[in-house]
Structure 1
Amino acid sequence: MSASDRSATRPLHLAVDLGGPPHYDAPHYVRLARLAERGRLDFVTLGDSFARPGPDALAVLARVAPATGRIGLVPTVTTTHTEPFHVSSAVATLDWVSRGRAGWSPQVSTTEAEARLFGRRSAAPIAELWHEAREVADVAAKLWDSWEDGAEIRDEPTGRFIDRDKLHYVDFEGRTFSVRGPAIVPRPPQGHPVTVIDATDPEARAAAVRHADIALVRAEDPTTAREAREELRDRVRAHGRDPGRLRVLVSIPVELHTTADAVGLAGLIGDWCQQGAADGFHLRPADPGRDLALVVDGTVPVLQHRGLLRRFYPGATLREHLGLSRAVNQYAQAGRAS
């Protein structure tokens, strides 16, 4: 597939990680997110872990949300040692405060040292942790759907705030938790915030097949990336999902020092696109403050000139940026079917 053919069918998706050494001042992250927004990038990610000091990624991006207008915001959310009900509420809240630009990237906590921070249970094998993460993603979707659209009546004359026929109990029983619901936060603007999973490792890939809207893969050459994309799409299809609704982005490290390096990155992205390696790229800058500016001012204009990258946002929500429709409410759909 040529670059021109690809650009005619679907735009290249571009995202960037805002990581690096932790900063405790909000203006740092606001500045970077605004810079990415100026480059019309789809979304920014912000990593998080119980293994390192630093501010909570979800809380940071909730602060960034009102200071930006279009860029998607995707924090890492650790599903181990945390309450799924709280996780779903926090991610839904991010979608509300960003007016439909939220995503989340589930991750697991593997070490005994991290487990001791909570004191609830010991560390578990990676397969068990990702099974739990899949259950968290499942129950989060059910909680987001537990309020149908239009459930809020707010009818002052009758004193009715909620249409109880549009409120649903989840009644979920997992291996390590149970959730009844319904949610305390109304259904998010996107229906479901976008789920982003780094699908490089086998256990995480199994979760991506079931739940991801975006799968990130780490590859050093376009052949490996293309094979990973094809495998993911085949497994998604076998799992009963539409592979056309999965976006596979190659996650690559970036270290730029001059404008020439930014132009070289555009050439690499264009070459990989020509070979059908991915639906887009997730850039991991060595120094976000330096590298992101060179990407926006050097790489992005070259990609736009070649017709590979859009010059404006197609809509207001992250799902619209990605060409994904608003998520269908599973309870409303079941009601219509019955």
Structure 2
Amino acid sequence: MIHLAAFLFTPSGMYDGWRHSAAQASADMDFDLIVDVTRAAERGKFDAIFFADTVAMVGNANPETMATGQSRQARLCYLEPASLITALAPMTSNIGLIATMTTTYNEPYHVARRMASIDHISKGRAGWNLVTSQIEEEAWNFGLEQHVAHADRYERAAEFSEVVKGLWDSWEEDAHVRDKATGQVFDPQKVHILGHKGPHFSVRGPLNVARPPQGHPIIAQAGSSEPGKELAARTADLVFTAQRTVEESRTFYQDLKGRMAMYGRDESSLHIMPGVVPIAAETDEEAQAILDEIESFMTVEQAIKAIQRHAGDLDLTKFDPEGPLPPLPPVNTARGRQQVLIDMAERDNLNLGQVARRFAASAGHRILVGSPKTIADSFEAWHMAGAADGFVLIFPFFPTPVYNFVDLVVPELQRRGLFRKEYESAILRENLGFERPANRFHRQSEPAPVAL
């Protein structure tokens, strides 16, 4: 079966999508609309929805953007994801709820406590999208003059994730006795101090939230650089990636799955889900008309400015748009995304203007336009080729493209036997087909009683 997750990147997953005539431009702050879209995704039996996050207003370093109020995208203000999925939990029943929280500008105890709480509130449907922060403006909100170095961010993230999982294991499932007659609250043999001391963190524990219903909430991760792939092989349950061809995706898939054995993990414990922007309609022609309207808003000059942050200190506006993409210096932001840009130009022999327009439209993700048959054919081909366990759907705007996918494409996938007709469970981990992780402390033969 194919797995599907909806990436609710409000107000638009394409930079100019929010300007489409059918788009709700205020979707970023419209909670009622987000509820409707989430319920539509649940009606479509999606595994999960998830929300991106940065802890800064992206683009506020650009004087032109600040002076004119114009940006290449409208996603500048939006609801904080952990708060949002907490609010969505009682309004849904089966769909997974995944929120992004950075390991660069957070502490492990905060994330472990927040995600464990949301897992309890949602009765086992919470997920944490682990990111290392790629936006340089974030540093300025946390007492730093410049962003933490790429290698240091990933080193910190690896330790961060291990601390979080250790804290989730603080309490065994039956640790709480709550015996009114004796006054005993918990079994001291079944609550554990983490006692972590490492290069980045010193965390005693235990967590002051009981073990999550899933054992560990699902961990999603999106890094495609070498450190990102190592982190994913070590820690992730879901990987959201960006490949535009089935050959590229299959190579990435085999590479990442092949790294898991060194961390004692089975390949089946990780789902790789490339991002795709689906534009679905009754016919291919109707779908193409939607894309044409969105693309009509973008000039080559705007597109080049949109990819500037992937070029570091190299000013792309000084190069001929009809000339080749110049050699790009390594950046301290999203190195995997920069490589997607470079690979796209080389593979398709695109000039600077062409690659800028193609990349900027969807941040390098594949745009899939057409009827239900066209889209289902592509999904089936990628899945059968061993290039994907499923797909992360990045909708061009909201809410119509979500409804179109649920009402048109999902039934076609179900008809082919490629997608579920009913949820297997009300637990996210079980819908994904993953086993519940063992408690690391429970595996010890003689656990020491906790001293609180």
TM-score (norm 2): 0.70
Would you say 1:199 and 2:309 are equivalent positions?
no
Letter in 1 for 2:269: R
For residues 207 and 79 of structure 2, the distance between their equivalents in structure 1, rounded to whole angstroms, comes to 26
In 2, are the aligned partners of 1:259 and 1:294 still within 8 Å (CA)? no
Give the structure 2 partner of residue 44 of structure 1: 49
Q: Distance in 2 between matches of 1:38 and 1:65?
A: 15
Find the counterpart in structure 2 of residue 217 from structure 1.
241
1:150 aligns with 2:195: no
Partner of 2:38: 33
Does residue 173 of structure 1 match 2:197? yes
Q: Superposed, which structure 2 residues align to 1:158-307 within 5 Å?
A: 158-256=182-280, 258=282, 260=284, 261-263=370-372, 264-307=374-417
Within 5 Å, which residues of 2 pair with 1:48-59?
Answer: 48-52=53-57, 53-59=77-83
Partner residue of 1:4?
A: none
Matched, 1:91 2:115: yes
For 1:11-160, what aligned pairs fall within 5 Å after superposition? 11-21=1-11, 23-52=28-57, 53-119=77-143, 122-160=146-184
RMSD value, Cα: 1.8
Shift of 1:106: 0.7
> Are the counterparts in 2 of residues 137 and 211 from structure 1 also a CA contact under 8 Å?
yes
Paired AA for residue 46 in structure 2: L
Q: Deviations over 1:193-249 (max 9, x none)?
A: 011111323222111010001122211111111111111111001332111211111
Which letter maps to 1:133? A
Q: Distance in 2 between matches of 1:174 and 1:253?
A: 40
The whole-number CA distance in structure 1 between the counterparts of 2:78 and 2:180 is: 45
In structure 2, what is the Cα distance between the partners aligned to 1:93 and 1:337? Answer: 25
* Matched residue, 1:8: none
Contact map agreement 2:281 2:408 (CA 8 A) in 1: no
Secondary structure at the aligned position of 2:259 is classed as helix
Counterpart Cα distance in 2 of 1:102 and 1:248: 18
Residue number in structure 1 paired with 2:367: none
The aligned residue for residue 314 of structure 1 is 424
In structure 1, stretches of 5+ residues that fail to align are 1-10
Whether contact under 8 Å (2:6, 2:394) holds in the other structure is: yes
Distance 1:327 1:262 in 2: 40
Alpha-carbon separation, structure 2, partners of 1:188 and 1:121: 37
* Distance in 2 (alpha carbons) for counterparts of 1:112 and 1:273: 36
Q: Does 1:323 align with 2:313?
A: no
| Greater Cα offset, 135-144 or 197-206 | 197-206
- Matches of 2:160 and 2:188 in 1, distance apart? 25
Mapped partners of 1:262, 1:104: distance in 2 = 33
- Deviant stretches of 4+, over 6 Å: none
Kindly state the Cα deviation for residue 313 of structure 1 after the two structures are TM-superposed: 0.5
Distance 1:237 1:259 in 2: 44
On the 8 A contact 2:48/2:95 being kept in 1, the answer is yes
Q: Measure how far apart 1:38 and its partner are.
A: 0.3
In 2, distance between residues paired with 1:334 and 1:32?
45
Change (3 A) 1:217 1:71: same
Matched residues, percent identical?
35
Query: Alpha-carbon deviation of 1:144?
Result: 0.3
Deviation at 1:37, TM superposition (A): 0.4
Is the partner of 2:98 in helix, strand or coil? strand
Structure 1 residue 113 displacement after superposition:
3.1
> How much has 1:140 moved relative to structure 2?
0.7
Q: CA deviation at 1:90?
A: 0.6
Secondary structure in structure 1 of the residue aligned to 2:399: helix
For residues 62 and 12 of structure 1, the distance between their equivalents in structure 2, rounded to whole angstroms, comes to 27
Q: What stretches of structure 2 of length at least 5 have no aligned partner?
A: 12-26, 58-76, 285-369
More strand as a share of residues: 1
